[in-house]
Amino acid sequence: MDNGRSLWASLVLLNLLITSRALLTPRISFPLGSPGRPLTVFNMSGVDNTTTLLLSNDENTLFVGARDSILALDISHPWAIDIKNRLDWSPTEKDLADCSMKGKKKTDCPNFVRVLQVLNSTHMYACGTFAFSPRCTYINTQNFALATGPSGKPEEGRGRSPYDPYQKNIAITVDGELYTGTVADYMGNRPVISRHLSEGSHVDLKLDDTPGWLEEPTFISSAFVRGEEKVYFFFSEVGREYDFLEKFTVSRIAQVCTSDVGGQRTLQKRWTTFAKAQLLCQAEKELPYNVLQDVFTLSPPEGASDEDTLFYGIFRPQWPINSGRSAVCAFSLGDIKAVFSGNYKVLNRDSLRWTTRVQEKIANPGECGLHNASDNTLRFVKENFLADASVQPTKRRITLASADQDYSNIAAQRVRAANGKEHTVLYLLTELGYLHKAVLLEEGAHIIEEVQVFRQPQPMKNLLLSLLKGSVFIGTSEGVTRVPLSNCSFYPNCAECVLARDPFCGWDHSRGLCADVSTIQGSTGQDVDGGNVSVACRAPPVVTPRSSRPTAASCELVLVSLNEVVRLKCPEASRLATRHWQRPNSRLSPDLYLKQQDGSLQFLATPITLGHYMCQAEENGFQQTLAIYQVKQKSSTTLHPPTTTRHQGKATVEVGKLAPTPRSVPPKQPDIRAKEPELAVTKKDANAGSTRRTGRNFTLWFDSSQAKQPRDSVGEEPLHGTQPSYLQELVVVSVLLALCISILLTIALYGLRQRCRGRTITQVCPRKDAERGTGAATPQERESLQGHSPRTAKCNGQAQNGQAQNGKSPISISNGSLSGSNGHLPNTPI
């Protein structure tokens, strides 16, 4: 029965996952090192695990807790991170030896700084794992040196810092007092929420050891709301109130009052204001995202009440079948207060089961001032600390859900657009090392861009937002990366600036560029909610800048041979745009054309497929042409071998000028260059002034000076004509045929004439001898035959300057007949 129930539950879960799966695609993607999104990275030799980050009060200095050291980095200058000071804080050799004897890895025994907080204007407070023996210290910020505490001895770190460097912990200082959430033993079995460094009438407090207060928690984050005088803790733990066969993880929010001093007899040196409730991040008809990853506190707008404070959290499901998904939910302080002021559950100490209390409510757990209450009241709050209701997300829906991203860290801010409306912008760090920048709209979240900030997945990382410096700082084991909040200069025209839907950026019609909204004085082209290009890019009547229009794609000539595979590339303007190919007055039949996943078009060169091709992109109702090609059959007289160079052992085509390409880099596609010819560009020809485009199997030519003009102006077929013309080829073939026939006739006539001349000389010469009746020639005749006769020299063709070669006549008369030196008649075939 149990097996059947488990199988049914698994099938229901799988069905819910399939029906609810949706993708959120970033519009632009910037790989690591992309020139379109420059970043500032700080790393230092010998410094690792720079994951604990803290901003100074003026936000000109970034303090970094690393392994065996604490850094002070200067971030006052934009696009720069410079080292100011470094403080070494490492265990002794004895501490490392003791750590190894406990069976711990040598790589886990150094001091990993896990707590770094500002106490006052002159000192900071730091805690570290210190070879699995936590310790804390004071730091003088004026000379950046270690300082001793009031006792004059090293501070005990138990209950303030974890033992294990891989255990999560939280810490926050309020008026010089330290509030922490961590484990208080070596084995990690005693979780505790406590207060340290108490001053005045305050005493150090911690949770009671009563079962049920904390159930195997994983501490995530903490926040202080001064108007409420409460510190809030966020963590995940096992939900004992749910009767499941397996452990069910729930996300919690807990609260304590900063004025709490513990009870007089009951709950002495224990929290009297501790209460906790469940955070429910769940979409309709879906299982909840129940494992909390990170929380960011967004202060209310100026002039609003504290109840408008929002807590943005990242949640994941605990089930392996649902892995790879994450969601963002927002919770308001007003809803949290309403849940804490409601009913509470009670824990049966005998059965360790939670039930809803039905008896009269004696006190409101979590209410400040209970430390002066009676023992009976304190016993009530000691047993009733779990709220009966769960905290629902704002608007009762998930803020953002991703089916293919594991988000780990979050930050948020409010940005005022050009029209005065405020938008919430989220910064989400993924496990794979990408930072997503998303704006929350009425129809859902829109991911403006993704920026790769590190290469390898990081086990421990941190995300810190600096509004004053306009940057996000990311701490990883590889170093600290600074990412500017806006990247307006990347967008080259008004259309792309508006389609980005970035509240930071708008099109400045007066200057003709995309700039930060706060720097624009005149009319601003921006539409964050709708992304309407036709309206936002409509220039004022006074100013009509040419650059406010999208850049037109230039036409490229592609010369191919018949029956050759042709591949035309289409650049990617945006990952949200839909690309399609068109031919004027023609339709692309799927029987002749193959559209690749990277947007390129592949087909076989035939008389039917020759002509013009256009690749167009459509995004949010706006359409633009990305590439124009004219495919023509090439002539054999214009062929040139492709020019290649060798680079790192690979043959690559020399690169010259290409048509405008997008600045974003599309995701990697399967390499099919070994099977298909690709278009590339070589250097310009100095004599012809044209650009030669060479591929693996064919050569392409087009005039670079006419690249942006229609082809009608250079004698090519117009853009709207698609029928190929063979007039020029017919004329060339006809002329060549006539020339060949003329040459053959000339050779034939010349040979016939030479034969006739030879026969005439052979008949005349013997006739003269016969008339004289002698068998020998006269001296005059002999002289004429020895080379002085023009007719004989012309027929012979071998006499030079009237003299025979080698002193002999090539022709002689013997026995009354004319013969050559070889015994045959001249001008006759041998």
> 540 and 559 share a domain?
no
Looking at the structure, do residues 615 and 676 belong to the same domain, yes or no? yes
Q: How far apart are the C-alpha atoms of 458 and 432, rounded to whole Å? A: 8
Domain boundary among 526, 547, 568: 547
Q: Is 620 contained in some domain?
A: yes
820: pLDDT strictly greater than 50: no
Range of the domain at 806: 730-820
| CATH number of the domain encompassing residue 496 | 3.30.1680.10
Confidence of residue 152 (pLDDT cuts 50, 70, 90): confident
| Shared-domain flag, residues 503 and 577 | no
Of the candidates 226, 370, 215, 327, the one whose C-alpha atom is nearest the C-alpha of residue 278 is: 215
Q: 748 and 711: one domain?
A: no
CA distance 484 to 346: 49
| Token pair belonging to 97 | 């030896």
CA distance 690 to 673: 26
Query: Is there a single domain that holds both residue 682 and residue 787?
Result: no
pLDDT value of residue 540: 62
Q: What is the pLDDT of residues 239-274, one digit of tens each?
A: 988 887 778 999 999 999 999 999 988 999 999 999
Domain count along the chain: 3
* CA–CA distances in Å: residue 428 to residues 176, 332, 504, 564: 31, 20, 17, 47
Q: Which pLDDT tens digit goes with each residue over 270-300? A: 999 999 999 999 988 788 999 999 999 999 9
Q: Please report the pLDDT score of residue 552 as a whole number.
A: 58
Q: What's the token pair of residue 629?
A: 């090609």
Calculate the alpha carbon distances from 112 to 84, 99, 162, 461, 519 in Å: 20, 14, 10, 13, 43
Listed residues 530, 547, 564: the one ending a domain: 547
Question: Rounded to an integer, what distance in angstroms lies between the CA atom of residue 186 and that of residue 194?
Answer: 17
What's the CA gap between 64 and 113, in Å, rounded? 9
CB 148 within 8 A of CB 138: yes
Task: Report the DSSP beta bridge partners of residue 302.
Answer: none
pLDDT of residue 757: 67
Whether 682 and 701 map to the same domain: the answer is yes
Q: Is residue 213 part of a domain?
A: no
Closest CA to 451 of 42, 30, 35, 36: 30
Question: Which amino acid, 357?
Answer: R
- Whether residue 625 is contained in a domain is answered as yes
Q: Are residues 648 and 735 in the same domain?
A: no
Same domain, 647 and 520: no
Which of helix, strand or coil describes residue 44? coil
Amino acid at 629: Y
Cβ-based neighbour number of residue 454 at 10 Å? 20
Beta-bridge partner residues of 149: none
DSSP at 554: P
| DSSP calls for 262-284 | --SSTTTTB-SS-EEEEE----T
pLDDT at 646 over 60: no
Q: What are the pLDDT digits (tens) for 362-382?
A: 888 889 988 888 989 999 888
The domain that contains 598 carries what CATH number? 2.60.40.10
Residues 537 and 604 in one domain: no
Whether residues 503 and 588 fall in one domain: no
User: Would you state the pLDDT for residue 243?
Assistant: 80
Q: Are 636 and 719 part of one and the same domain? A: yes
Partners of 653 in the beta sheet?
Answer: 644
Report if residue 611 sits inside a domain. Answer: yes
> Could you tell me if residue 652 is inside a domain?
yes
Segment among 43-57, 562-576, 602-616, 742-756 with least mean pLDDT:
742-756
Neighbours of 688 (CB within 10 A): 11
**146: in domain:** no
Q: Is the pLDDT of residue 532 over 60?
A: yes
What pLDDT digit, counting tens, does each position of 699-749 carry?
333 333 333 333 333 333 343 344 455 677 787 888 888 888 989 988 888
Q: What is the pLDDT at residue 389?
A: 94
Residue 528 lies in a domain: yes
pTM: 0.74
Residue 34 lies in a domain: no
Closest listed residue to residue 116, CA positions, set 167, 84, 160? 160
489 and 519: one domain? yes
Handedness of CA 764, 770, 771, 775 (dihedral sign): positive
> Are residues 425 and 445 in contact, defined by beta-carbon separation less than 8 angstroms?
no
* Res 715: pLDDT: 35
